[in-house]
């Protein structure tokens, strides 16, 4: 290493190296550490070798490299668009779930094939009860019909059966009826069947030919075409759903045979 360079290094090691000349006079700049009662903080750009007064922090200017991420333009429009889309998706998802769980669904109601529990064929001027009653004195066909109703509840809440109205007709004339108020319920996401027994009577006043055809000594098939009309009210989420059912069934009025065939 040359002697000139060695001399420069020796001078830089001297703390009085920095010197400024003004008007022939020299002012020596030395490193001086702040002390005293004032509040000071470490200089963030002095690498731990100096401090600046805390009250002057707001007057400092920092040099930031051009590659610093803070100098890059912020994509406010893109972030706003993405945020809006996220909000819409979340709101749509929440709304869809609320509709899926809370919106009432239709409770499927259907009538299964009824059954005939008993049948009594009263001849004209019968001597045994109930054939001795005035309405049955000229001949009648008395039977008990059990009507099963099947309900399928797809809702997430229990379906309350608020009312069921049964009417059994023969030849357009009501031969039996029954009305039930709050007979039961169907649990959420389940199905159930409940039965109702309805007494029906076909007298000679309604149709004398049908009564004669059901007598034990009558020839030919002992069949009667019975018309069922049923109205079912089911309440779900405080919403009342009304379902009307109609069914035609061939019922054998012979005491020895209890076959029933239903058609639409």
pLDDT in tens, 72-99: 777 778 888 899 999 999 999 999 888 8
- Confidence bin at 38 (pLDDT 50/70/90): low
Residue 63: what pLDDT? 76
Residue 43 predicted with pLDDT over 80? no
* DSSP-assigned letters across all residues of 51-71: EEEGGGGGG------TT-GGG
Distances (CA, A) of 71 to 63, 64, 66, 67, 204: 12, 8, 7, 7, 103
CA 244 to chain CA centroid, Å, is 26
Summarize pLDDT for 124-177 with one digit per residue, the tens.
Answer: 888 888 888 888 888 999 999 999 999 999 998 899 999 999 999 999 999 999
- Which domains does the chain possess? 108-263 (2.60.40.10)
Q: What percent of the chain has pLDDT over 70?
A: 79
207-217 burial: b if 16+ Cβ within 10 Å, else e: beebbebbbee
237 vs 159: CA distance, rounded Å:
8
Beta carbons of 182 and 160 less than 8 angstroms apart: yes
Q: Is the pTM of this model over 0.75?
A: no
Whole-angstrom distance, CA of residue 107 vs CA of residue 186: 9
Q: Kindly tell me if the per-residue pLDDT of 206 is higher than 90.
A: yes
Q: 209, 224 in Cβ contact below 8 A?
A: no
Instruction: Output b/e per residue, 108-137; b: 16+ Cβ within 10 A.
Output: ebebeebebeebbbbbeebeeeebeeeebe
Q: What is the CA radius of gyration of the chain?
A: 50
| Phi, psi angles (nearest 5°) of residue 92 | -65, -40
């Amino acid at each position: 290493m040359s002697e000139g360079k060695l001399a420069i290094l020796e001078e830089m090691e001297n703390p009085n190296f920095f010197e400024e000349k003004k008007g022939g006079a020299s002012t020596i700049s030395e490193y001086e550490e702040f002390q005293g009662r004032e509040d000071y903080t470490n200089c963030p750009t002095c690498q731990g070798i100096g401090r600046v007064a805390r009250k002057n922090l707001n007057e400092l200017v920092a040099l930031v490299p051009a590659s610093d991420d803070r100098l890059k333009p912020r994509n406010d429009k893109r972030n706003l668009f993405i945020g809006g889309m996220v909000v819409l998706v979340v709101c749509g998802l929440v709304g869809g779930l609320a509709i899926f769980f809370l919106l009432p669904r239709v409770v499927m109601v259907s009538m299964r094939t009824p059954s005939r529990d008993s049948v009594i064929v009263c001849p004209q001027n019968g001597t045994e009860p109930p054939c001795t009653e005035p309405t049955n004195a000229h001949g009648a066909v008395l039977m008990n019909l059990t009507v099963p109703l099947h309900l399928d509840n797809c809702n997430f809440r229990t379906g309350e059966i608020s009312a069921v109205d049964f009417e059994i007709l023969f030849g357009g004339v009501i031969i039996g009826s029954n009305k039930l108020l709050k007979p039961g319920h169907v649990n959420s996401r389940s199905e159930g069947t409940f039965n109702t027994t309805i007494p029906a009577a076909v007298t000679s006043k309604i149709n004398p030919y049908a009564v004669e055809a059901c007598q034990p000594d009558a020839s030919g098939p002992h069949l009667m075409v019975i018309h069922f009309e049923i109205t079912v009210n089911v309440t779900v989420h405080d919403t009342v759903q009304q379902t009307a059912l109609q069914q035609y069934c061939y019922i054998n009025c012979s005491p020895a045979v209890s076959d029933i065939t239903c058609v639409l």
